[in-house]
Amino acid sequence: MPSEMLRTIPALLSLGITLALVPGMTADDLTERARKLHFSSLVVDTHDDTTQRLMDGGFDLGPRNADGSIDIPRMKEGGLGAIFFSIWMPSKVKGPEAVQRATAQIEAVRDQVRKHSNELVLATTAAQVREAHRQSKIAVLMGVEGGHMINSDLGVLRKYSDLGVRYMTLTHSGNCEWADSSTDKPAHNGLSDFGKDVIREMNRLGMMVDISHVSDKTFRDVLEVSKAPVFASHSSCRAICDHPRNITDAMMRALAAKGGIIQINFHEGFLSQEFRNAEKADPSINNAIAAEVQKRCGDKEGCQLIEGDKITREYVLQGKLPRVEWTKIIEHIDHAVKVAGIDHVGLGSDFDGANMPFGMEDATKLPKITEALLQKGYSDGDVKKILGENSLRLMSDVERVSKGSKPAR
Amino acid sequence: MRHIRTVGLCVFGCVIAAAAFLPRIPSAVADDISERAHKLHFSSIVLDTHDDTTQRFFTNTYDIAKRNPDGHVDIPRMREGGMNAIFFSIWIDGRVMGPQAVEKALDQIDAVRENVRKNSKDMVLARTAEDVRRAHKEGKIAALMGVEGGHMIGNDIRMVRIFADLGVRYMTLSHFYNDEWADSSTDKPTHNGLTDFGKDVVREMNRQGMLVDISHVSDKTFYDALEVSKAPLIASHSSCRALCNHVRDMSDDMIKALAAKGGVIQINYEKSFIDQAYKDAYDKETGGVVQHLSQLAKNCNNDEACISREMAKMQEKLTAEGKLPHVSWERIIDHIDHAVKLVGADHVGLGSDFDGADMPEGMEDASKLPKITEALLRKGYSDTDVRKILGENTLRIMEQAERVSRELQTQQ
C-alpha cells in the first residue's frame, strides 16, 4: 500500500476521529488487519523498569500480576516480542556499591530467563532477537540506565557487556562522573574526555549508546564521538511537551542524520504539556506523591515506581492532575516520524518506571498503537519499523561498527 | 625405594606400564630419561591450578606476551615450560569486603579476559575440560580463572552466578582472613567452619559447575565443605602438612578424606609450605606469612603487585643474609610423592602459586616445569601417572563438577 498517499488523508483530520476513511474498509476490518499485523511483527520495547521489582523480592515474571505493567502473560497478550530490562538505581548511588547493585540486577534478569526458559531467552544481537521470535519466545535484553554504574571503570563496562548488557544510558537524572544530565547543573560541559573514551569502548563492544536523560550538550558531544548510530531509548518530543528529558526537533534531525532512533516514552509528564504544566505549577503535588510513595515503599525502588504510578493516577481521578490519554503516544510518534523520518522512530515505553497514560496501563495495550498508526494511514511496513524493525536495524548497525565495518546504510 | 614405588604403582592398575619400564632401569642413563621426560612433558596437558599473575596485569611494566625479567609466568616461559593450561587467580586482600571487593574482582576478571583477547594467537579462554583439551589440540594455552577468596562475592550468592557466567571455574572459600561465611586456616574461627549461607554458596557453586577450592580454609571449613559439596573438591594450591607443618597445608587425614570423595590436592611450591626448616626460620624473621603480608600491604598501600614484588625481595634478602635456609625445588617432588603414596596418583596435581609465592631454587619460573616430569620418571612413576599429576586429574575433576552441575540443573 502506498503509505505516503494514505498518510496524507488522515493527517488532515484531528486525532481521535475514527475512520471510515478508506473506501470499502470498516473499522472492524482495520482492527482485524491491525491485530494480524501486530502479532506477526517483532515488537521491541527498549525501556522497562521491571527489574526493580525483581530486586524487591516476591515478584516473578511468570504469573499475571495484579499491578505494574509487565509480566510474561501480559507481554504475550500484548504481542511484545523483545524487551530491554533496565538496570537502574538513582544517580546518587555511586562507587563500588553502584557496581555491585547493577551486577546483582543483571543476575536477577538472567535468573528470570533461566527460570522461564520456555518463554524467555536472553538475546544480545539482532539475529538472536529474530531467532527468539521464530521460536515464539520473548527476547530479553538489558540496558544499563546511567553511567554512574560503571564507577568510571572501563573494565566494569566490559563485564556488563560480557554479561549481556546491550546499551548504556550515559546518565540518569544526575550527572555522572563523566557526563552531564539534562536534569542536573552542567559540570562537565557535556562529555568529559573519559566520557568520550567510554563511547569509543561502547562502540568497540557493540553496546548501543543511549542519549535519553543526557544534557543537550552531552548529546551533541556523543554524536560527534560515536562511530555507531546512537539512540534515545525512552524520550519523547520536546516540540509537543517541553521537558528537558525530551528531544528537540533539531536534536531528532541530528540523531536521524546519523542513523539513530528516538524511542517514544509513554510517561504522562513527557507526553502532555498540560500535565507537565500542572506538575510545575504546584510542586507540592509531586512532593505529596513522593511522601506517600515513601510511606508505602520505604526504600524499595521497584515498589516506589509502581506505587508512584498508582498514586499519580489517584490524583488524576481526584482532579488534582490532568488526565492524559494514550493517544498522546501516537501524537509523539507521528511528530517524530514527520521530523526524523519513518526509519528513526521506535517504542521505549518506560513501563514499570513511569506514569502511564489512560488506555496504556500495561503491555497488553500495545496492539492499540498498531491500530492507531494504521488508522492514521501508516503502511504495514512503516508500522513494523516503528514497532521494532528500526530498533533491530540499529542493533545490527552497532554490531557492524563493533566488528570494524560501517553501518549498512 | 624405587621398587617400593613401582609396586605401589601396580596397585593403581599400571602393571603393564610398570613392567615395561622395569627392565630399562638398570641400563637407563640420564639422557634416556631426559629424552623420555621431554617427550612426555611436551605431549601432556600441563595444567597449573594457581597463578597470581593477574595482579601483574595492573602494572604497566608487565606484558604477558613478552619474556619478563622478573616474576614467573608469561607466554614465552609458559611455552618453554610446556604449561598449556593456567588458572589465573582473581585475588584481593581478604580485608577488602563488600562492593569494593566485588568491583575489584570484576576488574581482575576483565584483565584476564582482555589479556586473553589481546593474545588470542597464543591463548584462549576455557571454561570446561573439553575447552582445555581443544585449546591443547590447537596449540594454544588455555586460560582459566579461579576466585581466591569468598569475600569477593560481597556476601551475595548472585555473584557466584555472575562469576561463573564470566568464566570463573573455581572459588577458594576464604583467603587469609575469615570472610562473612567461612573460617580461614590463618584467622581466629568465628563461624565454626561454614555458616548456613556458606553451605548455600557451596551448593550454588555445585550448580554452576564451579570447583570448590578448600586451600586456605580452616580444617573445620574443609570438613564442612566436604560434607555439603555434591562434587569433589580441590585444594588448588596446598602442600602436605606431614612434611611441613603449616596450617595452609593439608594433614594426611584431610588429604585422605579429600581423595575418598574424588578430590585433588594441587601441590603449592611456596618455600614456607614445603620446607619445615624454611618455615620455622621464616616465621621467626617475619612473624609468619599473614603478619608479613599484612605489613607489606601497609607498605604497599594495598597494591597487590607491589606486595608480591616486595615479598620476593625481602625473602631474597633474608636468604642472602643467611637468615633463611636454601630450599631446593626437589621438595616439590617430595610433596607430590608423599601425597601419591598416601592416596594414589589420581588425587594429586600442580598448583604452583607462581607470581604469588616465593619459589624454591631450581623452580624459578614456568620454564622449569619439565624438571618435575623428569624427576617423577626418575622416581619410577609411569607415563600415565605423570600425565595425571601434570593435568589429567584436574581435567577429570572439572568434568565431574560439570556433570554434577548438569544433574543439579535438570533436577530443578
Mean pLDDT of chain B, nearest integer? 92
> Which amino acid, A97?
E
| B43: in domain | yes
> Which amino acid, B81?
G
What single string gives the DSSP state of each residue in A330-375?
HHHHHHHHHHH-GGGEEE---BTSS-PPBT-SSGGGTHHHHHHHHH
Q: How far apart are CA A37 and CA B162, in angstroms?
A: 39
* Predicted local distance difference test score (pLDDT) of residue A12: 39
Domain that holds residue B118: 32-275+328-411
* Predicted local distance difference test score (pLDDT) of residue B50: 98
Q: How far apart are CA A133 and CA A121, in angstroms?
A: 10
Longest dimension (CA), chain B: 62
Q: What is the pLDDT of residues B238-289, one digit of tens each?
A: 999 999 999 999 999 999 999 999 999 999 999 999 999 999 999 999 888 8
For residue A305, CA distances in Å to A56, A90, A344, A349, B406 come to 11, 12, 29, 14, 38
Contact call for B107 and A97, based on CB within 8 A:
no
ipTM, 2 dp:
0.87
Nearest to B102 among A99, A110, A111 (CB): A99
Cβ atoms A376, A334 nearer than 8 A:
yes
Q: What is the pLDDT of residues A327-383, one digit of tens each?
A: 999 999 999 999 999 999 999 999 999 999 999 999 999 999 999 999 999 999 999
Q: Which domains does chain A have, with CATH numbers?
A: 26-270+325-402 (3.20.20.140)
**Strand-pair category, A138-145 with A80-87:** parallel
Nearest to B103 among A111, A153, A158 (CB): A153
Q: Can you list the pairs that A304-310 forms with residues at least 24 positions away whose Cβ atoms lie under 8 Å? A: A304/A52, A305/A49, A305/A52, A305/A53, A305/A352, A305/A353, A305/A354, A306/A53, A306/A67, A306/A68, A306/A352, A308/A355, A309/A354, A309/A355, A309/A356, A310/A67
Cβ atoms B388, B45 nearer than 8 A:
no
Q: Is the predicted pLDDT of residue B200 greater than 70, yes or no?
A: yes
The closest of B261, B305, B283, B344 to B10, measured between CA atoms, is: B344
Cβ atoms B348, B372 nearer than 8 A:
no
Q: What is the pLDDT of residues B48-102, one digit of tens each?
A: 999 999 999 998 899 999 999 999 999 999 999 999 999 999 999 999 999 999 9
**Chain A residues near residue B105 by CB distance under 8 angstroms:** none
**Chain B residues near residue A104 by CB distance under 8 angstroms:** 156, 158-159
* Predicted local distance difference test score (pLDDT) of residue B160: 98
Structure-derived torsion over alpha carbons of residues B203, B209, B212, B213, reported in degrees to the nearest 10: -160
Q: What does the pLDDT average to over A110-131?
A: 98
Contact call for A99 and B113, based on CB within 8 A:
no
* Minimal CA separation from B76 to chain A, in Å: 26
Cβ atoms A146, A172 nearer than 8 A:
yes
Q: How far apart are CA A309 and CA A313, in angstroms?
A: 6
Q: Is the predicted pLDDT of residue B22 greater than 50, yes or no?
A: no
Q: Is the predicted pLDDT of residue A409 greater than 60, yes or no?
A: no
Q: Is the predicted pLDDT of residue A289 greater than 60, yes or no?
A: yes
| B8: in domain | no
Q: What is the pLDDT of residues B364-381, one digit of tens each?
A: 999 999 999 999 999 999
A128-137, A345-354, B31-40, B154-163: which has the minimum mean pLDDT? B31-40
Cell numbers describing residue B24: 630399562
* Predicted local distance difference test score (pLDDT) of residue A24: 60
Q: How many CA atoms lie within 13 A of B317 on its CB side?
A: 8
Q: Tell me how many helices (H) and strands (E) chain A has.
A: 18, 9
* Predicted local distance difference test score (pLDDT) of residue B349: 98
Q: Is the predicted pLDDT of residue B30 greater than 90, yes or no?
A: no
The closest of A354, A326, A263 to A44, measured between CA atoms, is: A263
> Which amino acid, A295?
K
* Predicted local distance difference test score (pLDDT) of residue A20: 42
For cell 607470581, the residue is: B355
Contact call for B107 and A153, based on CB within 8 A:
yes
CATH of the domain at B217: 3.20.20.140
Nearest to B159 among A96, A103, A151 (CB): A103
Counting residues of chain A whose pLDDT is more than 70, the rounded percentage is 93
- The pLDDT-based confidence of B26 (bands split at 50, 70, 90) is very low
| B151: in domain | yes
Q: Which of B158, B204, B208 to mutate to test the interface with A (most CBs of A within 10 A)?
A: B158
What single string gives the DSSP state of each residue in B238-257?
--BTTTS--TTSB-HHHHHH
Nearest to A155 among B102, B107, B154 (CB): B107
* Minimal CA separation from A79 to chain B, in Å: 29
Q: Is the predicted pLDDT of residue A159 greater than 80, yes or no?
A: yes
| B89: in domain | yes
Strand partners for B143 = B86, B125
| B280: in domain | no
* Minimal CA separation from A174 to chain B, in Å: 21
Nearest to B162 among A96, A101, A103 (CB): A103
Counting residues of chain B whose pLDDT is more than 70, the rounded percentage is 92
Q: What does the pLDDT average to over B161-176?
A: 98
Q: What does the pLDDT average to over B115-132?
A: 98
A-B contacts at Cβ under 8 angstroms: 65
Contact call for B110 and A156, based on CB within 8 A:
yes
Contact call for B106 and A99, based on CB within 8 A:
yes
Report the number of distinct structural domains present in chain B.
Answer: 1
Q: Which residues of B touch A (CB under 8 A)?
A: 98-100, 102-104, 106-107, 109-111, 113-114, 154, 156, 158-159, 161-162, 165-166
Q: Is the predicted pLDDT of residue A25 greater than 80, yes or no?
A: no
Any CB–CB contact under 8 A between A282 and chain B? no
Q: What does the pLDDT average to over A108-136?
A: 98
| B354: in domain | yes
Strand partners for B184 = B217
| B282: in domain | no
Q: How far apart are CA A380 and CA A377, in angstroms?
A: 9
- The pLDDT-based confidence of A23 (bands split at 50, 70, 90) is low
| B21: in domain | no
* Predicted local distance difference test score (pLDDT) of residue B11: 39
**Chain A residues near residue B113 by CB distance under 8 angstroms:** 158, 162
Counting residues of chain A whose pLDDT is more than 90, the rounded percentage is 90
